[in-house]
Structure 1
Amino acid sequence: MSADNTCPDVSVPLRNLLNSVQCIRDRVKDGESNESSGGFNLQNFWDTLSQAVKAASQEATKLSLSFSKPPLPSPQDCERLAESIQKSVLALSTVYYWLPKSQGMTLRRVVRDGTADVLDGLIQLIDIILSSPLQSLSQEQLTSTGGVWLSCDRFAHLPRDNQAAVLDVLLSCTAVVKDALEEMEQAQAESQDPFSDVLEEEDLVSRGNQDTYWSESDRQLLGPCRGLMKASAACLKKLSTAVKSNGNVGTAENIAQLDDLADIAKEISPSVDDLALSLYPPMDHSAVELNACRLASVLKKVLEITRASHVCVEAELSWVQFLDGAVDHNLQKAKTLAQACH
């Protein structure tokens, strides 16, 4: 933070406000919800939350305008402004706490992160006002105010129940896995041994595994590993469709099953990334085998949890069984090829 350029009478309530909003933000990030004893109305929650977010956005605008040009607000006006902002921040955090875990942990994380983003934006804005010259509206202050507005506007696009929240997670994971697969396929298409056109095939094999290209044994191992990555993409895509078509938030058990699906599905993309990274030359076949086993284990768990959940109606069983077999087939092939190269 740069030197304090506000007069002491004005900076004291702003500093107190900054500390207060930071404490509220920290509680939102770490705190527990007030578990309802029945009677929770999700639509009422969203209506009330939307009003609280709108109020926070308006308070941020008032704060920014008050310190956009001379004269400074009087100490009394600044005190009233700080109290008004604190009131809106407390209201926003209180409404967030209304959302019980029984409505879904995935949904709750989304609302928590959205609420924390608004509070982070306000903290940054107050901090900038405290540390900026007041002769004119700084670009930093404009950007920070816009950041609060953007965080508030995002609430209109948040998923409204746990089914929608879980679907968002699955679609995000699908995109990451698809990107990793495309990068690997592109690398495979572009990469070749620079000496492949001047050496006989037996000489190429004897050259072994070089640092900058895939050997023949590497290329053979790429096949089943890409098969596991493709199975990952297919699994996420099919699961997304099943959650969209069959997901239900009518009971606590169904909501919890959706959370379980989101939690295990989130393990797929980092496992795909680990496998993809180990495939680049120079390839360590032991590392590839280990990462292939880990990815296969995650996929088997996803399929097992899917099969046991309410989203897996009879029509979904065929793809679950098919992918289960595809994972086994590609893993066995990858292990055999990797061990042959040890």
Structure 2
Amino acid sequence: MSDSSGNLIPLRNLLNSVQSVRERVRDGEPRDSAGGFDVHHFWDTLGHTFKATSQAATKLSITYSKPPLPSAQECDALADHIQDSVLALATVYFWLPKSHGVTLRRVVRDATLEVLDGMQQLIEVILNTPLQSLTQEQLTSTAGVWASCDQFPHLPKDNQAAVLSLLATYSSVVKDAIEEMEQAQSDSQDPYSDVLEDDDLDTRGNQDTYWSEADKQLMAPCHGLMKAARACLKKLSAAVKNNGKVDTPACCAQLDDLADSTKEISPSVDDLALSLYPPMNHIAVHQNASRLSSILKKVLEITKSSHVCLEPEVSWVKFLDGAIDHNMQKVTNLADSAT
């Protein structure tokens, strides 16, 4: 596309500005708010900036949807308008102090980055697409900005809600891993039967695709550890929902600690589940079980010392702690006897 008239130069400059703003949002730190932060004003203003950015994307897309190109003056004015909306979005994001929760800030940061990514992609598409008519790629990019801006009403509005959202995601992943493992065990003695042709099954005698008796014995306590992980996330979610507070920086920080401590649970459950498929390496299984056990014990320890752990929570923390030790001891004994 020719831009000899200079009326695309403002768009190229705008693209650089959006990229620069995106980097600042990704890497920048909030300013310290000396007690002057108004949470209601923040959310109202942030909502307006999301809406304004969505409208700016619509205006940009319509302006470049058919020939002729807008004049250089129109391009300048449009680029300035979009830059103002993008800068306002980033500026308001930076109002949110860490004292209101690091987990919440990450959620808002990611939502802001998604909007900026969408705007960046839309500008690139317009710059790279010959000006004939509205292309499918331009429609898709515009819709992408709309979709990212439309997520605003669904964002958690405090750190308790942000942490609960994370815990729900982790819990869902763990639930899926456990169900897949149970399905593989109940379907057949051969967990790969559903991905092989019948002829392969008939002619195959490879014991590497079957569980030995020793494998099956080792799977039981590993399954117990995975179920303990799910129970831990479920019980912790209930405790955060019922007892979680966001009225002081200390309470927000404790919720952040809980969120950080649980983020390794679902990957560790996945690693353990994958290591249980034949041919089973008992040393690898023991290592993965030990790692999951350590992560769960740490989560329980952090839970026990946080404000979400009231008297009713103490009993399940103690019970799960004992269940983890019991299953881990079984894994250690069985893995040692098989080597």
Q: Normalised by the size of structure 1, how large is the TM-score?
A: 0.93
Q: Choose the corresponding residue for 1:132, options 123, 129, 132.
A: 129
Q: How far apart are residue 191 of structure 1 and its match?
A: 3.3
Please state whether the residue corresponding to 2:309 is helix, strand or coil. coil
1:181 match: 178
Amino acid at match of 2:16: N
Q: Choose the corresponding residue for 2:166, options 136, 149, 169.
A: 169
Please state whether the residue corresponding to 1:188 is helix, strand or coil. helix
Change (3 A) 1:275 1:5: farther
CA distance in 2, matches of 1:77, 1:100: 38
Q: Choose the corresponding residue for 1:266, options 263, 266, 273.
A: 263
Q: How far apart are residue 145 of structure 1 and its match?
A: 0.2
1:72 match: 69
Change (3 A) 1:322 1:144: same
Deviation string 1:207-257 (CA, Å, 9 cap, x unpaired) is xx9311111100000000000000000000010011000000011111000
Alignment of 1:16 onto 2:28: no
Please state whether the residue corresponding to 1:134 is helix, strand or coil. coil
Q: How far apart are residue 36 of structure 1 and its match?
A: 0.6
Segments of 5+ residues of structure 2 without an aligned counterpart are 192-205
Q: List aligned pairs for 1:135-284, cutoff 5 A.
A: 135-192=132-189, 210-284=207-281
Q: Choose the corresponding residue for 1:113, options 110, 116, 119.
A: 110
CA distance in 1, matches of 2:276, 2:89: 47
CA contact (8 A) 1:106 1:165 kept: yes
Q: How far apart are residue 29 of structure 1 and its match?
A: 0.5
1:205 match: none
CA distance in 1, matches of 2:146, 2:307: 39
CA distance in 2, matches of 1:6, 1:289: 63
1:291 match: 288
Please state whether the residue corresponding to 1:10 is helix, strand or coil. coil
Amino acid at match of 1:53: F
Q: How far apart are residue 72 of structure 1 and its match?
A: 1.3
CA distance in 2, matches of 1:282, 1:288: 11
1:92 match: 89
Q: How far apart are residue 71 of structure 1 and its match?
A: 1.8
Q: Normalised by the size of structure 2, how large is the TM-score?
A: 0.94
Segments of 5+ residues of structure 1 without an aligned counterpart are 195-208
CA distance in 2, matches of 1:215, 1:75: 75
Q: How far apart are residue 34 of structure 1 and its match?
A: 1.0
Q: Runs of at least 4 residues of structure 1 off by over 6 A?
A: none
Q: How far apart are residue 133 of structure 1 and its match?
A: 1.6
CA contact (8 A) 1:6 1:134 kept: no
CA contact (8 A) 2:275 2:281 kept: yes
Task: Name the count of aligned residue pairs.
Answer: 325
CA distance in 2, matches of 1:340, 1:6: 74
CA contact (8 A) 1:5 1:131 kept: no
Q: Choose the corresponding residue for 2:57, options 57, 60, 68.
A: 60
Q: How far apart are residue 190 of structure 1 and its match?
A: 2.0
Please state whether the residue corresponding to 1:170 is helix, strand or coil. helix
Deviation string 1:14-41 (CA, Å, 9 cap, x unpaired) is 1000011001001100111112111211
1:206 match: none
Please state whether the residue corresponding to 2:79 is helix, strand or coil. helix
Cα RMSD after superposing both structures: 1.2
% identical aligned pairs: 68
CA distance in 2, matches of 1:307, 1:47: 36
Amino acid at match of 1:89: V
CA distance in 1, matches of 2:221, 2:213: 14
Deviation string 1:256-300 (CA, Å, 9 cap, x unpaired) is 000000001111001111111111110000000011000000000
Deviation string 1:41-76 (CA, Å, 9 cap, x unpaired) is 111110010011111111000000000011211011
1:31 match: 28
CA distance in 2, matches of 1:165, 1:329: 33
CA contact (8 A) 1:107 1:161 kept: yes
Amino acid at match of 1:223: A
CA distance in 1, matches of 2:40, 2:105: 15
CA distance in 2, matches of 1:144, 1:248: 39
2:199 match: none
Q: How far apart are residue 6 of structure 1 and its match?
A: 5.0
